[in-house]
Structure 1
Amino acid sequence: MDSQQITAKAPGLFRNRFIQTIIMSNVLLQIGIWVRNFAILLYVAEKTSKDPYAISLISVVEFAPIFLFSFIGGTFADRWKPKRTMIWCDVLSAVSVFAVLLTIHYGSWYSVYFVTFISAILSQFSQPSGMRLFKQHVPEEQMQQGMALFQSLMAIFLVLGPMLGTYVYTNLGLETSIAFMGFIFLLSALVLVRLPKDQDEPRAEAGKGQFRKELVEGFRYVWQSQVLRALGLAFILAGLAVGAAQALNLFIVTEKLGKTEQFLQYLLMVNGAAMLLGGGIVAAFSKRVAPQLLLAIGMLISAICTVIVGYSTSVPVTLAAQFVNGFAFPCIHIGISTMILKWSHESIVGRVNGVLNPMFMGMMVVSMSFAGVLKGAFPLEAIFTVAGCLFMVGAMTMLPIMKHKSPVNEPASLPVQESHA
């Protein structure tokens, strides 16, 4: 089915069956993920007397699969039928949760890490499959608005998720929280049955040589596109900036503002509320703005706000900067997601996502890892200024491609031909 046929009979965004179904599934998954995250965090902190290594290991098992499985998951997502893949990923996540629950019940408390690890692995197959379906079932003129809708959903749970997760764990305990997560995954799989039927597509025979060829093709496709290369560079710069700033926010609270560690939650709540508001506004106006411009605006505002946060000793000024930064973040997320969808052929969108996504996550983890060393060697003002400069350079990488228009859906094996205004 080509994009003109889709556009001709496209319903409104909220009347689109795919959008309705995927939103219902995402709401359920967000509930399950936040309950999981806080149940495991609070349980491990309680079990280990807040041992920093044990707590940091939670982040390791959450992010490690992105490096290990993102390329592989994206390649298989392009091979397999996306609806079936997403349903099976949710079912297998539920099965793994109940298996881990049995081991926890019989005394192996450390197996809680596997709940996050297995779920994170499966998400590397499910998420690019969802991107493929988005490419198939959402017309191009609605893609940016659709991404803004999902950004708003994420922002809602950034505000409500910690409260929900804490409430469930505090009142129901670990085992019930884990079981609740398993049932949520099963319910999500049931909801995904409503997705439109997978299209029958001729696929190459599976094999080691063919898999390696398809994996390399994803890297080649990104390299051949000036837009996707620029996006990859923006990913790297944004990851370095975000990692350093996030890791040192606690010191902003204690050293620059003179508050206790608990005050950090207010910075995060202000940021999350602003993301929700920003996502709604971007959803309303996104059709009129090119995704490259949207991304550049978001990174430019983040550059300014990051520097302000690094220098400010005033609580109102810091909170205001966090609010504006959160307000602009949807521009970054929506711009990136829309560019991946618009400049990737449907048959290769999973691999493109698998190539680009680790660039951001990898650089974020690298800068988070070195944040402590940087803090010992440089003042906070200098570190946050450099982070702001990284955002600024990221915005500037969009300038050469600002007038590029998304290509027609040419075969993925061909070089990407990008049109200019």
Structure 2
Amino acid sequence: MERLVSEQGAGKAPGLLSNRFIQTIILSNVLLQIGIWVRNFAILLYVAERTNNDPYAISLISVAEFAPIFVFSFIGGTFADRWMPRRTMIWCDLLSAVSVFVVLFAIHFGSWQSVYFVTFISAILSQFSQPSGMRLFKEHVPEQQLQQGMALFQSLMAIFLVLGPMLGTFFYSSFGLEVSVAVMGFVFLLSALVLVRLPKDKVKPAAEAGKGQFRKEFVEGFSYVWKSRVLRMLGVSFLLAGLAVGLAQALNLFIVTERLGKPEKFLQYMLMVNGGAMLIGGGVIAAISKRVQPQVLLAIGMTASALCTVIVGFSTSVPVTLTTQFVNGLVFPCIHIGISTMILKWSHASIVGRVNGVLNPLFMGMMVLSMSFAGALKNAYPLVSIFTVAGILFLIGALAMIPIMKYKSAESSAESLDTASSGA
């Protein structure tokens, strides 16, 4: 299949935005991002208001959002390779919409704690839908456009990093919780309808045969990643990046209050500068991505993030910190785009869901772990030391790319097929 895609891409491949699959996925993602940001801020503001800013109640929102990633990512990736991907995505959005309206009914009749289930159920279903989307991306986008496609989606994420908080706050402030939750259910339903435009699933996965196969396929995902030198090194970088990002994100508020001497609300300006720069960076990378190998992009992003993280930790100047945040935002898309492209290029189409299911929890797990310890570290060590350690973690992650820097996509196809056959 990869060979066929490569041969098609060698001719006159249509422009990325003229690809019906890309058009459909972008529209679906816009709708989902609207729903997710409205959900996140409506629930956050509602729980804070209802519990008088109880830290435990507020932290449960993050638990509901991230816990399913650890429990269901491996399982979801395996099923994504077994099931029909288009059908899986449509059903996940439909079930998300149904669950939202069921929870909305419970909220209306007084069970306000049900708001946690909106996030929890949606997060579970996304662990089945997201790897299915990656699999379809592998099938319907020519290999030479994969990195450009990832850059396009990174730009979309950056847009919502800037607009999402304002959108979510507006809906909750203007219409309250129930309307905000209803909006989420409605956009998930619209997304399911949009996904009907996707090209029909061509071939039933061979693994759909017996239940006894599930355990074997589940293990194959881990074996596949371990046997691939590229994916193994990517996993190391994923792990280190998660640790570094978790430390920096958890303590950014203290950078504002202690290092810059600004009130807590100043953090939103730092985030807006960072998000705006990510939008620009995603566009720039989309333009140059065809000429740069994904592992080079990843190494550039992690090296720049290492330097910027250390500068932010040392800086007591608002202009220096904001400028550094802007530079970091410009290069940070290199990390996400490089990782996503490497997963797609170095994974056979039949196993891309499981590869995603193995690698994704590494980042999220380490991020949540470092966020959990960030408070204790803050009490024991100065911010400068912690941000320096985070920078060193980024740098080690960049150095892990050196052994695989010369790997080309042609080699990736051979490696993927060899690994798949040896793991079968």
Q: Tell me the TM-score normalised to structure 1 length.
A: 0.97
- AA matched with 1:17: R
Alignment of 1:345-356 (within 5 A): 345-356=348-359
Q: By how many angstroms is 1:4 displaced?
A: 3.4
SS of residue in 2 equivalent to 1:78:
helix
Distance 1:150 1:116, change over 3 A: same
Aligned to 2:5: 3
Aligned to 1:301: 304
Is the Cα contact below 8 Å between 1:32 and 1:180 reproduced in 2? yes
- AA matched with 2:302: M
For structure 2, the 5+ residue unaligned runs are none
Runs of 4+ in 1 over 3 A off after TM superposition: 205-208
Q: By how many angstroms is 1:3 displaced?
A: 1.6
SS of residue in 2 equivalent to 1:391:
helix
Aligned to 2:401: 398
Aligned to 1:175: 178
For structure 1, the 5+ residue unaligned runs are 417-421
Aligned length in residues: 416
Aligned to 2:29: 26
CA shift digits 1:326-383 (9 cap, x unpaired): 1111000000000000000000000000000000000000100000110011000000
**Does 1:133 find its partner at 2:119?**
no
Aligned to 1:419: none
Aligned to 1:410: 417
Higher relative helix content: 2
Q: By how many angstroms is 1:205 displaced?
A: 4.4
- AA matched with 2:417: E
**Does 1:339 find its partner at 2:342?**
yes
| Equivalent-residue separation in structure 1 for 2:422 and 2:244 (angstroms) | 32
- AA matched with 2:152: L
CA shift digits 1:183-238 (9 cap, x unpaired): 10000000000001101235134444310000000000000100000000000100
Q: By how many angstroms is 1:412 displaced?
A: 5.9
Is the Cα contact below 8 Å between 1:34 and 1:162 reproduced in 2? yes
| Equivalent-residue separation in structure 2 for 1:123 and 1:311 (angstroms) | 38
CA shift digits 1:238-278 (9 cap, x unpaired): 00000001000010000000011111101100110000000
SS of residue in 2 equivalent to 1:414:
helix
CA-atom RMSD in angstroms: 1.2
| Equivalent-residue separation in structure 1 for 2:7 and 2:301 (angstroms) | 33
SS of residue in 2 equivalent to 1:204:
helix
| Equivalent-residue separation in structure 1 for 2:295 and 2:87 (angstroms) | 33
**Partner of residue 116 from structure 1, selected from 106, 116, 119:** 119
| Equivalent-residue separation in structure 2 for 1:200 and 1:298 (angstroms) | 37
**Partner of residue 260 from structure 1, selected from 263, 276, 295:** 263
**Does 1:67 find its partner at 2:70?**
yes
Aligned to 1:283: 286
CA shift digits 1:276-305 (9 cap, x unpaired): 000000000011000000000000000000
Q: By how many angstroms is 1:11 displaced?
A: 1.4
| Equivalent-residue separation in structure 1 for 2:335 and 2:400 (angstroms) | 13
| Equivalent-residue separation in structure 2 for 1:411 and 1:200 (angstroms) | 22
- AA matched with 1:307: V
Is the Cα contact below 8 Å between 1:348 and 1:412 reproduced in 2? no
| Equivalent-residue separation in structure 2 for 1:361 and 1:294 (angstroms) | 21
Aligned to 1:249: 252
- AA matched with 1:120: A
Q: By how many angstroms is 1:6 displaced?
A: 3.7
Aligned to 1:216: 219
**Partner of residue 320 from structure 1, selected from 319, 323, 331:** 323
Q: Tell me the TM-score normalised to structure 2 length.
A: 0.96
Q: By how many angstroms is 1:75 displaced?
A: 0.1
SS of residue in 1 equivalent to 2:86:
helix
**Does 1:368 find its partner at 2:375?**
no
- AA matched with 1:136: E
